[in-house]
Protein backbone atom coordinates (compact mmCIF):
# COMPACT_ATOMS: atom_id res chain seq x y z
CA UNK A 1 0.00 0.00 0.00
CA UNK A 2 1.40 3.39 -1.06
CA UNK A 3 1.50 6.42 1.19
CA UNK A 4 -0.70 8.08 -1.44
CA UNK A 5 -3.48 5.45 -1.71
CA UNK A 6 -5.85 7.34 0.60
CA UNK A 7 -5.21 10.56 -1.31
CA UNK A 8 -5.86 8.88 -4.66
CA UNK A 9 -9.08 7.34 -3.32
CA UNK A 10 -10.25 10.77 -2.13
CA UNK A 11 -9.50 12.29 -5.56
CA UNK A 12 -11.38 9.44 -7.28
CA UNK A 13 -14.38 10.06 -5.02
CA UNK A 14 -14.27 13.82 -5.66
CA UNK A 15 -14.17 13.14 -9.42
CA UNK A 16 -17.60 11.53 -9.14
CA UNK A 17 -19.07 14.99 -8.41
CA UNK A 18 -17.48 16.70 -11.42
CA UNK A 19 -19.75 18.92 -13.48
CA UNK A 20 -18.35 18.58 -16.99
CA UNK A 21 -21.24 18.68 -19.51
CA UNK A 22 -19.16 20.47 -22.16
CA UNK A 23 -15.84 18.62 -22.18
CA UNK A 24 -16.97 15.36 -20.54
CA UNK A 25 -13.48 15.44 -18.96
CA UNK A 26 -14.12 14.72 -15.28
CA UNK A 27 -11.29 15.49 -12.88
CA UNK A 28 -10.94 14.89 -9.17
CA UNK A 29 -8.27 16.26 -6.87
CA UNK A 30 -7.40 15.71 -3.23
CA UNK A 31 -5.10 17.93 -1.23
CA UNK A 32 -3.58 16.69 2.02
CA UNK A 33 -2.93 19.33 4.65
CA UNK A 34 -0.04 19.06 7.09
CA UNK A 35 -2.71 18.49 9.75
CA UNK A 36 -3.69 15.26 7.96
CA UNK A 37 -7.03 16.58 6.73
CA UNK A 38 -7.83 15.83 3.09
CA UNK A 39 -9.78 18.25 0.92
CA UNK A 40 -11.37 16.99 -2.27
CA UNK A 41 -12.34 18.99 -5.31
CA UNK A 42 -13.81 18.39 -8.75
CA UNK A 43 -13.85 20.43 -11.92
CA UNK A 44 -16.92 22.62 -12.37
CA UNK A 45 -17.52 23.76 -15.94
CA UNK A 46 -19.53 26.70 -17.21
CA UNK A 47 -20.93 27.54 -20.64
CA UNK A 48 -18.64 30.57 -20.48
CA UNK A 49 -15.46 28.47 -20.41
CA UNK A 50 -13.38 31.13 -18.69
CA UNK A 51 -15.52 30.70 -15.58
CA UNK A 52 -14.73 26.99 -15.31
CA UNK A 53 -12.80 26.01 -12.18
CA UNK A 54 -10.34 23.11 -12.08
CA UNK A 55 -10.50 20.36 -9.46
CA UNK A 56 -7.10 21.29 -8.02
CA UNK A 57 -8.19 24.87 -7.37
CA UNK A 58 -11.48 23.77 -5.81
CA UNK A 59 -9.59 21.52 -3.37
CA UNK A 60 -7.06 24.24 -2.59
CA UNK A 61 -9.67 26.95 -2.07
CA UNK A 62 -11.69 24.66 0.21
CA UNK A 63 -8.62 23.99 2.33
CA UNK A 64 -7.60 27.66 2.51
CA UNK A 65 -11.16 28.70 3.36
CA UNK A 66 -11.12 26.16 6.22
CA UNK A 67 -7.98 27.73 7.68
CA UNK A 68 -5.32 25.30 6.46
CA UNK A 69 -2.01 26.81 5.40
CA UNK A 70 0.44 23.90 5.19
CA UNK A 71 0.17 21.08 2.65
CA UNK A 72 2.20 17.97 1.92
CA UNK A 73 0.72 16.34 -1.22
CA UNK A 74 -1.93 16.64 -3.92
CA UNK A 75 -3.44 13.94 -6.14
CA UNK A 76 -5.18 14.41 -9.49
CA UNK A 77 -7.36 11.67 -11.00
CA UNK A 78 -8.87 11.47 -14.49
CA UNK A 79 -10.20 8.73 -16.74
CA UNK A 80 -7.67 9.56 -19.47
CA UNK A 81 -5.25 6.86 -20.53
CA UNK A 82 -2.41 9.38 -20.37
CA UNK A 83 -1.87 10.68 -16.83
CA UNK A 84 -2.94 14.31 -16.65
CA UNK A 85 -0.94 16.96 -14.76
CA UNK A 86 -2.43 20.21 -13.43
CA UNK A 87 -2.90 23.07 -15.90
CA UNK A 88 -0.65 26.13 -15.76
CA UNK A 89 -2.97 28.19 -13.57
CA UNK A 90 -3.27 25.34 -11.08
CA UNK A 91 0.50 24.84 -11.08
CA UNK A 92 0.96 28.50 -10.14
CA UNK A 93 -1.52 28.24 -7.26
CA UNK A 94 -0.16 24.91 -6.05
CA UNK A 95 3.35 26.40 -5.97
CA UNK A 96 2.14 29.55 -4.20
CA UNK A 97 0.29 27.68 -1.43
CA UNK A 98 1.98 24.27 -1.31
CA UNK A 99 5.52 24.73 -2.57
CA UNK A 100 7.45 21.71 -3.78
CA UNK A 101 4.92 19.04 -2.77
CA UNK A 102 4.57 15.63 -4.40
CA UNK A 103 1.96 15.73 -7.17
CA UNK A 104 0.34 12.32 -7.62
CA UNK A 105 -1.11 11.72 -11.08
CA UNK A 106 -3.50 8.79 -11.36
CA UNK A 107 -6.18 7.43 -13.66
CA UNK A 108 -9.06 5.02 -13.31
CA UNK A 109 -7.07 2.30 -15.07
CA UNK A 110 -4.59 2.13 -12.17
CA UNK A 111 -1.79 4.24 -13.60
CA UNK A 112 0.11 6.29 -11.02
CA UNK A 113 3.09 8.66 -11.21
CA UNK A 114 4.49 10.94 -8.53
CA UNK A 115 6.32 14.13 -9.50
CA UNK A 116 7.79 16.84 -7.28
CA UNK A 117 6.10 20.15 -8.03
CA UNK A 118 9.46 21.68 -9.06
CA UNK A 119 9.58 19.18 -11.94
CA UNK A 120 6.14 20.20 -13.20
CA UNK A 121 6.70 23.92 -12.60
CA UNK A 122 10.36 24.84 -13.10
CA UNK A 123 11.40 28.45 -12.46
CA UNK A 124 8.12 29.51 -10.84
CA UNK A 125 7.03 33.08 -10.29
CA UNK A 126 6.71 33.68 -6.56
CA UNK A 127 7.57 36.18 -3.84
CA UNK A 128 11.30 35.63 -4.48
CA UNK A 129 10.84 37.51 -7.77
CA UNK A 130 10.09 40.85 -6.13
Q: Which residues are catalytic?
A: 56
Long-range contacts of 44-49 (CB under 8 A, 24+ apart): 44/18, 44/19, 45/19, 45/20, 45/21, 47/22, 49/22
Query: Which sign does the torsion angle of CA 24, 104, 39, 118 carry?
Result: negative
End-to-end Cα, the chain, rounded Å? 43
Count CB-CB contacts under 10 A for residue 37: 13
Amino acid sequence: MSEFDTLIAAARAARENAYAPYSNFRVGAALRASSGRIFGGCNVENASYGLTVCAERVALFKAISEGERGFDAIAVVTDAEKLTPPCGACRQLIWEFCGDVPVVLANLQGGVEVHPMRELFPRPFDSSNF
